[in-house]
Amino acid sequence: MKYTVEINNGINLPVNIDIDFVNNYKNSDVIEKFRKEHEYTEQAAQILFNELKKYLIICASYRKGYPPSKSIDHIWHTFILFTMDYSKFCESAFGRYIHHAPNIGNTANRLKIEPFEVTILALKETFSNFNEHFWVHLAPGDGDEDDDNGCTHNDCGPVTDDIHDPDK
């Protein structure tokens, strides 16, 4: 059942989200693959996956290009590799696919990617709690802003519907 969601502080999210589906969704394949590649405990990987779901909720709700933290981005990449699972999750939870956009050239400006601090503000406004440990963001020039996937973690994020509709 989809409905407008009141998550925190009386804020009603502006889209229909199946919050029960999102909260109850688990994917052991994503957790297992992520753990093998990133040396997380099962508990830490599951907590991180739950944080990813919160991130996707704010992306779907506010339709902005919020950049993820590095750890959130890594588990998002893992989830996306399970293409059928990720696609079904997005359709069931949000009624649409949440695309990932790596930073290539001027992508951040073209896709209207917000500064990372705006991601944190959206999380704080939307959720009564989130695990700040997984929301540490590396500053540009710290030597770890790029990885094998082409993301800078400062500029990658979801593709918003706004880029396809100039009237928004």
pLDDT digits over 42-87, tens only? 999 999 999 999 999 998 887 777 888 999 999 999 999 999 999 9
pTM for the structure as a whole: 0.74
For 43, what's the count of Cα atoms within 13 Å in the CB-facing half-sphere? 0
Is residue 165 a contact partner of residue 150, using CB atoms and an 8 Å limit?
no
Cα–Cα distance, 151 to 116 (Å, whole number): 14
Q: How much is the pLDDT for 83?
A: 97
CA distance 103 to 36: 26
User: What is the arithmetic mean of pLDDT over 142-150?
Assistant: 41
Q: What is the pLDDT of residues 6-24, one digit of tens each?
A: 444 444 555 678 888 999 9
Q: How big is the CA angle at 138 (ends 27 and 22), to the nearest 5 degrees?
A: 25
pLDDT value at 36 more than 90? yes
Instruction: Confirm if 75 and 32 have CB atoms less than 8 A apart.
Output: no
Please tell me the total number of residues recorded for the chain in this structure: 168
pLDDT of 62? 78
Q: Is the dihedral of CA 69, 59, 54, 24 positive or negative?
A: negative
Of the spans 23-37, 95-109, 150-164, which averages the highest pLDDT?
Answer: 23-37
